[in-house]
Amino acid sequence: MAKPLTDSERRKQISVRGLAGLGDVAEVRKSFNRHLHFTLVKDRNVATPRDYFFALAHTVRDHLVGRWIRTQQHYYERDPKRIYYLSLEFYMGRTLQNTMVNLGLQSACDEAIYQLGLDLEELEEIEEDAGLGNGGLGRLAACFLDSMATLGLAAYGYGIRYEFGIFNQKIVNGWQVEEADDWLRYGNPWEKARPEYMLPVHFYGKVKHTPDGVKWLDTQVVLAMPYDTPVPGYRNNTVNTMRLWSAKAPNDFKLHDFNVGDYIEAVLDRNLAENISRVLYPNDNFFEGKELRLKQEYFVVAATLQDIIRRFKSSKFGCRDPVRTCFETFPDKVAIQLNDTHPALAIPELMRILVDVEKVDWDKAWEITKKTCAYTNHTVLPEALERWPVSMFEKLLPRHLDIIYAINQRHLDHVAALFPGDVDRLRRMSVIEEGDCKRINMAHLCVIGSHAINGVARIHSEIVKQSVFKDFYELEPEKFQNKTNGVTPRRWLLLCNPGLADIIVEKIGEGFLTDLSQLKQLLHLVSDEAFIRDVAKVKQENKLKFSAFLEKEYKVKINSSSMFDVHVKRIHEYKRQLLNCLHIITLYNRIRKDPTNSFVPRTVMIGGKAAPGYHMAKMIIKLVTSISNVINHDPVVGDRLKVIFLENYRVSLAEKVIPSADLSQQISTAGTEASGTGNMKFMLNGALTIGTMDGANVEMAEEAGEENLFIFGMRVEEVEALDRSGYNAREYYDRLPELRQAVDQIGSGFFSPREPDCFRDVVNMLMNHDRFKVFADYEAYMECQAKVDQLYRDPKEWTKKVIWNIACSGKFSSDRTITEYARDIWGAEPLDLKIPLPNVPQD
């Protein structure tokens, strides 16, 4: 087989990477050499690969700075409505290649680096991922920043600059071991510290009612230091800002109180304050009520709101009408989007500032707050909902507790007036949950304090209205919306799959990169022989390239003509990696039973991190690695079945594996996955989906036609019916011999001969308390997988379905999602305007 083109060779053929003009190439070389010279310490005359990476990063950064300054100047002069996206997570991944793509510099850099005898791809591999997120929620925020800049919105991402992001996952003896992610060790070329905008954040203390209002006194102060990262739009010269806060102790920290001379101890205690931004909590879809986490949530909110208000007051037209109080126009100039309940404290904090500091009367302040804030719900799992103990608030944020009580009292008075005598409704709708430990329900606070509440896929938004927030929906149905998630086609097609992007550009031009609905034009090419060949060839090249990577990293020989069956996402019972395991074991048993039969060869790849404290998730990883160990060393199987656990799954690994996948597994129990976004990335990159009718899978099936996905399993209504009648796992175990055999093998130690009862907990859970009903969908899943095999035997028909899916994936661009947020929630219009380059004089 012909050796595939390297990405470097391919880039030179691709128009959308920006043409490498001779002038550009020379300019990049000159800039690179200058940076290399000044980066290298005088006494070190040998450059390392990392020196080359930093020289290139600084070269590319130089192209950003002028655009960045001009964009911010443009906003200051035009004073548009500003969008503030508040999130505790921004899962950005690497920045170098994305910046080159969005600035149209990739070909010039590639050529310049090649002329200097270096390899661009090797330099790109040196960059650390910015892993400031757990999974879907944090990566969604990153895609949204890309789309907001591309759509010319005056938008800001606000979050925390964690010193340690999501842990690095090592697999040792088949078990997950966590390692700290010291991503800043070598410095971050993309951030700029802004000490001049440092702000104080207050904790603890006491509340005092005085004749001139309420005072929050005797607080402990922590300083919030902002670090700004540029966010370039796609070829429109717009560069927005992501501002992340880092915690700093004030210089007099602990030195003034009671400290009779233990100066050393006091300086060491600065760490306590600075721990706030030390580490990302590694839980996905799970609430852990730790005080440090509550501090993080208030820290980002308090610093951000001061910044928003400073910018509102200093903007050119902040206070045109002296008759009204200045804050009347606040919701016309500011939109705050809460990414889940993690930044919910923005609601009471904005109230505190308006009422206590700016002396706005309560009702007016509440109206302003509601008009400004909007809330995105990301999960319906009860264990994920934030419910903070009142006792913790009392100690840490006493003024906010008072404000929440006051908000809740007015809310309950309103409900009681509409539903007299319905005490159970008051209990259900209260922000305060009574009980042994009184708790604050942050989701209820968000719903009450926002003018818009949205779910992230149509089915999820319906569940939000009909179950999670049913009472609130009955009260104010107009507040509830759907905004189906999307992904940025720049990173998730152009950057990660240049081969596919290229053949699409050849056929329909490059407009689809900013208007993904244009992919519909590929529908008339579904039966085009040449295009079918091109699409299959690109997929095969991607598989060869990923196979080489796997052989290098995992020392496993891959059959690159096998079906690449990929299941990558956080490890969680509801995502049902265990259902995939049962399919793998059943397949294995069938091969062993009848080795001469013809089987479609598969390479099954499962990847994802487990929260360090989530026992069952860690057991699932151990099960996958144990199954892999047995199957991959069984000579009877040969290369017909291989199982690989992809270690340390992260953004930069997703960019490699997704373009190579044939089959995408999206198999959560119906009604549990709010949306999913990996599903969209696979669809866009030419994998077919096997999935349940859950999350955005429903809309994917609607766009492409259910017959063009492999849909199986219970629908939400059937899951609910099974809940009512009672799910009995043993019934399936007794009725299905292949299922029984697989479960018995797991339980008896077939996959863990040295530790026969290693997986006792897993089997016990599956048999006796499986909330996610794995066995109930086993039979349908096996039948559906047989249909996958059948189609894969006919490469041409398979590729036709692939083309159909790609052509129907246009809805799932985050550009579409953000356009809907802007029009329906933020009241801001996306701008087609291209800001002039820094070297072009402005009108």
CA angle 146, 674, 154 (to 5 degrees): 25
Active site residue 150: no
819 burial level (CB within 10 Å; 0-12, 13-18, 19+)? middle
The pairing of strands 563-568 and 602-607 is parallel
Active site residue 602: no
The pairing of strands 206-210 and 213-217 is antiparallel
169 burial level (CB within 10 Å; 0-12, 13-18, 19+)? buried
Number of other residues whose CB lies within 10 A of the CB of residue 196: 6
Tokens standing for 210? 């005085």
CA dihedral 578, 579, 582, 584 (to 10 degrees): -100
**Active-site position among 29, 333, 370, 378:** 378
Secondary structure class of 525 (helix, strand, coil): helix
Provide CB contacts within 8 A for 433, sequence distance 6+.
387, 439, 440, 441
Active site residue 609: no
**Active-site position among 677, 689, 692, 799:** 677
DSSP state letters, 557-588: ---TTSEEEEEES---GGGTHHHHHHHHHHHH
Question: Which residues pair with residue 28 across a beta bridge?
Answer: none
Q: Tokens 């057991």 sit at which residue?
A: 619
Q: What CA–CA distance (Å, rounded) separates 825 from 820?
A: 8
Active site residue 569: yes
Provide CB contacts within 8 A for 149, sequence distance 6+.
155, 231, 232, 233, 234, 236, 238, 239, 240
**Active-site position among 479, 545, 575, 650:** 575
**Active-site position among 352, 479, 490, 569:** 569
**Active-site position among 70, 342, 400, 570:** 570
Q: What CA–CA distance (Å, rounded) separates 713 from 701?
A: 14
Q: Which of 477, 402, 405, 417 is nearest to 447 (CA)?
A: 477
Q: What CA–CA distance (Å, rounded) separates 533 from 802?
A: 12
Q: What CA–CA distance (Å, rounded) separates 458 from 702?
A: 11
Active site residue 254: no
Number of other residues whose CB lies within 10 A of the CB of residue 340: 25
Active site residue 681: yes
Q: What CA–CA distance (Å, rounded) separates 490 from 511?
A: 12
In this structure, the chain runs to a length of 843
Rounded to 5 degrees, φ, ψ at 243 are -110, 115
**Active-site position among 248, 539, 567, 681:** 681
Tokens standing for 500? 């596919």
Q: What CA–CA distance (Å, rounded) separates 75 from 78?
A: 5
Number of other residues whose CB lies within 10 A of the CB of residue 221: 15
Q: What CA–CA distance (Å, rounded) separates 472 from 447?
A: 8
Number of other residues whose CB lies within 10 A of the CB of residue 89: 28
Residues marked active site are found at: 378, 569-570, 575, 677, 681
